[in-house]
Every structure is written in structure tokens, then in C-alpha cells.
Structure 1
Amino acid sequence: MEKWTMASNDSRLHYLDAMRSVLMLLGLVLHSARPYDTGGWRVKDVEHLPWLDGLVSSLHLFRMPAFFVIAGFFAMFLVRRRTTGVFLRERMRRVLVPLVVVLFTINVLQAWFVSRFVEGQQGPFVSEVLIPAFWSGNLVSHLWFLGCLAVYFALTALVAPLLRSVDSTLAARAARIQTPILVALIAAAAVAPVAAAVVGKLASGALHQYVLGVVKPMTVLNYLPFYAVGIVLCMLPDVLARFSRVTLWSVAFALLGAAGMYVAGDSESLAMRALGLTAQALLAWMAIRAVFALFRRYTDHPSRTFRYLSDASYSIYLFHHLIVIVVATALLSVPIGPGLKFPIVLACASILSLAIYHLLIRRSAVLGYLFNGAVPPAARAAVSKPAASHAVSTAGVVETTAAPAGHGTMPGTGRA
């Protein structure tokens, strides 16, 4: 039985905080590997490390799907504790403020750097590089998930009254059928990619075009099942406990998914493509369960390190991508192998982006608001009065100091 319940205000799912921050930081590993795998990317070294293809594929399989499960979980957590208007305003601020700020500052600088020093373009930057990059979705780059979260939060607000109604009765009625519910959830989520592919095909490519340069409808559709399952897991803590375990059945289904992907291969037949999509989704869900189980087993306790990373990881992620590109470009002409370049790029991206957060963002209410969507704890403590119940940023944003337990600082999670 899961000890934690949604009615408690003094408990905290520490492992979800830890997992969320680690999933975000794994983005540094993923992007640092891209210059040296065999796929296409913005910066490519002449030498490759084929084993990095496996690392990149593995991270793609579970990292962002698991992140969206957590995002759905904490969205439902907040729907319980906020009015619909407050929920929508807080969530949109957390994702849209950093999205807009980084998109038109850091990502513009990134587009300029790539066009000049990687691609060697010398024409007008705005007309030949910036505007096409914006409308094609290239400018949004590693921020793509923020557009998805904005859509999900808007949809959540739209159906919030229904979610609260279902939530008030579902837990009691579902207490005796937890396993069937879990099986039904995973089964539905495993076949969801096939349905999404059919919808995308019927839409004749319209869903594959970026809207306002920041969000692709097909991507929103593909990750929606993960977000939706997170909402359900929040409603059913006992099902969450079962989900967060590795069992013989989950191992068997993971092997079945891997076998299905192998059989489907690169076949263009409709049946094989459907099999491949379902098998990949099944393997992804089993991987997500394994990640949940791992963090639940080893990190479900208070930790100053993970609390700091929970506060820092969002800002670190926002800054690291440009650093990876600059450092990887600088190393292109250095006569060392990719086996050394990869850890150098990863170390530089990690240390420099962490330093930016620790020395600048966490100490400034303004920078924290711009690059985190909220005033960081250190800055909030610095400007709050001992007897005050609120901390006010210099940007005029009010942050409650007694946020409900169980939510953190990442977009899609709980702290306002």
C-alpha cells in the first residue's frame, strides 16, 4: 500500500522530485552525444562513436515519455488544490515565460552561431536564417516540450471540473480492481500511437507543421497518452504504487516489445508499422515503470542534493544546448578522438550551465522569473520579510512561501 495519499499536506513524493530533475538533466547527456553519434545534428564531428546511437535511442525511448507522465501527475495534483483560473495562470507562466525569453535570446544566438560558424552562411541573418528557422520549428530547438506542456495545461483547465468530479469518486470504486486498471491503462497507451498515426495520415501532413513556430500538433498528440496516464496515476495512489514496481510480467512485456520492434524492422507495410509502433510503446512503458521503480526504491527520502537539483535542473536545461553546440564546434579541429570529445562537451555543458544557475539565476528574482518562470528559493528568501506570508519578486510576481507538499520546480510540476 502506498503510504502517501493526495489528502496529505505534509508528505512528499521525494522520488518523483528526484526523477523529474534527473530526467531533465539527462537531456545534457543526450545532446552532448549528438555531435558524435551517426545521426544528423546541428554539429557533426568527422569521427563517430556508434555505441552512442544506442545511448541516444535508449534515452529517447523513456526520458521524455516519463517526464510527461510526471507532468500529468503534478497537473492533477494542482487541479485539486487550485481554482481552474489560478492553475492555468501559474502553469502557463512556468512554461511560457522561459519559452519566450529563451526562444528570442539564447536560441536566436544559437541560430546565429550555427549559421555562421557551422554552416558558413554569410547572407542576411534575419531574412535568410532567423525567420525560416522560426516558422520551420528549428528555432524552438530543445524547448519543444514547453509548447506541448502549454497545450496540455490548457486542455487540463478546460476539463478541470470533470477531472475533479471523476477524482472524487474514482479512488474508492477502483480500490479492488487496481491490477485491471493498470493493465487497461498500459494496453490503451500501447495502442495509442497507432491511433495517432492514423489521425496524422488522415490529416495529410497538416498535423506535422509547427504552429506559431513552437508546437507541432502531431508531437502533442504522440505524447498526450503519457500525460493522461500521469493524471490517472495521481487519482489512484495505489495504482501508482503498482505501476512503480518491476515484476516478471513487466520484464516479459518489455521483451515482447523488443521482439515486436525487431520483427517490424523498417517494413513499410501497414501491419508491420502498426506492430512496430505498438511494440515500441509497450517497451517504452515497461522502461518507464522500471525508472519509476528505481527512483521509488532508492530516492524516496528527503535529500538536499535532489532538492537543489529540482530547483536547478530547469534553468540548467535551458542554457546547456547552446554550450554543447559552441564547445562541440570548437573541438571539431582538435586532434583528439570522439571518445574524449564527448565527455569534454558533457562536462563543459554541465559545469557552465550549473554555474549560470548557481551564481546568477538562483540569486536574482528577475533572472529567476525570466529563466525559471518563478522566483528561485534563494532569491525569494532574500527578498521576503520574516513575518511575511508571501515573497514578492522585483518583477511584481507573488510567490507563496508555503506551497503544498509534493510539488517541485520543473515545468509541468507543482510549485507555482
Structure 2
Amino acid sequence: MNPPSVLTAVEPVELRPPSGSPGSPPPRFYYMDSMRSILMMLGVVLHGALIYSSTDHWIVSDSHNSIFFSLLDAIIHVFRMPTFFIIAGFFSMMSLQKYGIKVFTQVRLVRILVPLLSTALIVNTLELYFRTTILQQNPMTFTRFLTQVLPQIWLSGQWVSHLWFLLTLLQFFAVGIGLYLLGRCLPNVHVASRLVAGLRKNCYFLLLIPCAELLWSAAAKVAPDLFHGSLCCGLFNLEDFMVFLPYFLLGLWLFRDPGLQDEFHRIARWEWGMLLLAIITQHIEANAHGFNTESLLRIYSFGLICALSSHICYVLFYQFMNRDSRVFRYLSDASYSIYLFHHICVVIFGYLLLNSNIAIGYKFLAVEIATFAVTLSLHHFLILRIPILRFLFNGKRIARS
């Protein structure tokens, strides 16, 4: 049996069998495949919406824009990545317990580093050349771009683009390994167990997750040069690490704690009221800046919206998508290719439609359809059928004859 993939298992996930029934087969659920594929495809929607957003200036921005696409971008943004990191944490702990640290590290490094480097060196280089020569109107030969411009882009960290997710995953995997080793060495503490039980009940721990946003904001005020932007040529971003780490830790905890799984599979009543209150607070304090009470309320309310929204997303998939589906199995497998190739497609198709006179709604649909068609075709006709490409862009080893 092969270890699970980089984000989630492509095959249906097997939960641990309940105690007292050692001979019974473990229960299986399928909503992780559905969640992974849909959340990945929402990345295409999000980046397409940025082109026509009235509040964001992206790589490609159409002069005709709408507040609708700003709202669409904002709504997807609050739950998509937090939910991804919960899934990543869950399957990291599952893989560590099932295969051990050595196999976990070997598999995850190949599944992440190989596609990361392949996409950065090939796909992102082509995108950066397009952006430099076409979008920035700085024509040059490809050779000159490679020798004079690209090294500066790599040193500044601009090469990372959408690949920041994979870089952050690598850092979180190191955290997961450390906590896995720590959990094997430390004995259970009853006081801590009682505290955890209180936080677990009705998922009250969700109220603590926004503290990571507050911590990052405080750190950014103290050392802005360190906490703004990426470090080490783009290899490390402290903001991404600090803000999303609680969700990865939640995923680790979720796998280890069957009691938490029971609580996390339903939405407590208090969550709806707090979500509404957080949205109202975010609207009222939208213009609050600095380091004052109003600004802290704005930061905490946004973090709470993200935490509650990711939980609601998780529960909805668990309740309505927990069934086997060949379509979502296929899309789950294809989602890695979609993620790696969609960014350059959205940029190019968005640019090609900039001067078109059609309504922006139709432009948006055209960008989405074209991007999905190209990325799925690349996956189906090239990645799946050519072993070397499957290794380079999906990190799956070439089978030996």
C-alpha cells in the first residue's frame, strides 16, 4: 500500500477502528476527496475573481470591475486555506502513525519538492517571462531574461507566487514530526486532559485560533522588516507560518482525538451567533488601523470569521459529501495538477480578454472555462500518461519494470 499523497489521500480514508472490535474493518469516509477537489478548484475561481475585483489590484486587472468579484474573492479567502491546512494536518498525523517518520519524510519530500521545483523552474519561469515582456512591456530575448532578470527575481522571492502553499507545508511537516516525537516521549497529564476536554466541548477552542492573527500583528509592529514579506529568497514567510499554523495543529489534534472528531463533525449553536457578530464587527471596524482597541477587534473578528467558516465548510462536506464518487476521486487526483498549472493560465487568459468589449461576467466565465479545460487536459493527456511528467508534476515515482 502506498502512503497518502501530499495534501490528502487520493484513496478513501480509513479511520481507526473503534476499540473493542479489532476484527472489524475500519469505517471509511469520502468527504475529504470531495473537499480537496472543490477547494482546489475554488483557487481558480479566486484568482479569476481578482482580475475583475474593484478593491484589489492583481497581476492582471481589468479596468471594468465589480464589487461582486471583490466579495467573491473575500468569501473564498476566509475559509479555503484554513480548511486546506486542517486537512494537511489530519493526514500528516495519520501518515506518521501509520508509516513512521522515515517513510513519511521520504514520501512527502518527493511529493512536494519535486513538483515545487519543476513548477518553479519551468511553469513559473514562463509566467514571469510573460509578465516581464508583455504585462510590463519590457521586451527582451528569453536568454537575456534567464541570465539578467530571473536571478534578481529569485533573490527577491518573487518566483514563489502560488507555490507558497507547498513551502509552508514543508515547514508544517517539520512541526508535525517534532510534535509526533514529543507525544511519544511525554506521558499523559490529567490536568491538561481536563483543560483539553473543556476546549474540545462544542469546539470552544475555535475562539483561540484568532490569537495567531493578533500575535502576528503585534510582531509585525515590533519588527516590520522581519514580519512583512518573505525571507531567504522567498523560502520562508513568517506571516503565512504564524497565521496558518493553528489550523495545521488542529488537523494533527483532530486525527489523534476521537472525541474531537465527534465534536468537529457538527456545528455548535454559539458559532452562528459569533460568526454574525464577527462579520458585523469586521464591517464596523473595517477602517481601523494602528495598534489600538478598534484595530485589535478588527483583527480578531477577521480571524474568528476564518476559523468558524473553515469549521462550517468542514461540517457541510461531512454531512452532504460523505459518499463514494468516481468524479470526485478523479478530481481529487487531478487537483494537484490544477493547482500547479492554473496560475499561469489565469494570468494569460485574463490578459487576452482585457481589451474585449464583452461583459466582465462573460470574461470571468471564459477565463474559468479555459483554465479548467487546459489544466484538466494537461493532467489527463500528459501527466497521467507520461511517467516522467507524472513524477515531475505530481511527485509520483516512476514504476520499475
TM-score interval for Structure 1 and Structure 2 normalised by the shorter chain? 0.7 to 0.9
Query: Cα–Cα, structure 1 residues 181 and 95, in superposed 2: closer, same or farther, change >3 Å?
Result: farther
Which residue pairs with 2:27 in the alignment? 11
- Cα distance in 2 for partners of 1:355, 1:33 equals 22
* Aligned-residue offset at 1:7: 4.3
- The letter for the 2-side match of 1:99 is L
Q: SS of 2:287's equivalent?
A: coil
Give deviations 1:364-416, integer Å, cap 9, x for gaps.
Answer: 222111101125xxxxxxxxxxxxxxxx526x9xxxxxxxxxxxxxxxxxxxx
Mapped pair 1:237 → 2:258: yes
CA contact (8 A) 1:331 1:341 kept: yes
- The letter for the 1-side match of 2:179 is V
* Aligned-residue offset at 1:183: 3.9
Mapped pair 1:162 → 2:176: no
- The letter for the 1-side match of 2:399 is S
CA contact (8 A) 2:15 2:26 kept: no
CA contact (8 A) 2:132 2:138 kept: yes
1:1-400 alignment, distance < 5 Å: 5-7=15-17, 10-38=26-54, 39-122=56-139, 124-126=144-146, 129-164=149-184, 177=197, 180-181=200-201, 183-208=203-228, 209-270=230-291, 271-375=293-397, 393=399
Query: Cα–Cα, structure 1 residues 13 and 344, in superposed 2: closer, same or farther, change >3 Å?
Result: same
CA contact (8 A) 1:92 1:153 kept: no
Q: SS of 1:318's equivalent?
A: helix
Q: Which moved more, 1:9-18 or 1:214-223?
A: 9-18
CA contact (8 A) 1:73 1:232 kept: yes
Query: Cα–Cα, structure 1 residues 187 and 274, in superposed 2: closer, same or farther, change >3 Å?
Result: same
In structure 1, the gaps of 5 or more residues are 376-391, 397-416
TM-score, normalization by structure 2: 0.87
Which residue pairs with 1:399 in the alignment? none
TM-score, normalization by structure 1: 0.84
* Aligned-residue offset at 1:180: 4.2
Query: Cα–Cα, structure 1 residues 31 and 148, in superposed 2: closer, same or farther, change >3 Å?
Result: same
CA contact (8 A) 1:69 1:230 kept: yes
Give deviations 1:44-80, integer Å, cap 9, x for gaps.
Answer: 1221122100000111111011101111111111111
Q: Which moved more, 1:269-278 or 1:307-316?
A: 269-278
- Cα distance in 1 for partners of 2:187, 2:156 equals 40
CA contact (8 A) 2:51 2:62 kept: yes
Query: Cα–Cα, structure 1 residues 326 and 152, in superposed 2: closer, same or farther, change >3 Å?
Result: same
- Cα distance in 2 for partners of 1:330, 1:72 equals 39
- The letter for the 2-side match of 1:393 is A
Query: Cα–Cα, structure 1 residues 74 and 175, in superposed 2: closer, same or farther, change >3 Å?
Result: farther
- The letter for the 2-side match of 1:304 is R
Query: Cα–Cα, structure 1 residues 178 and 359, in superposed 2: closer, same or farther, change >3 Å?
Result: farther
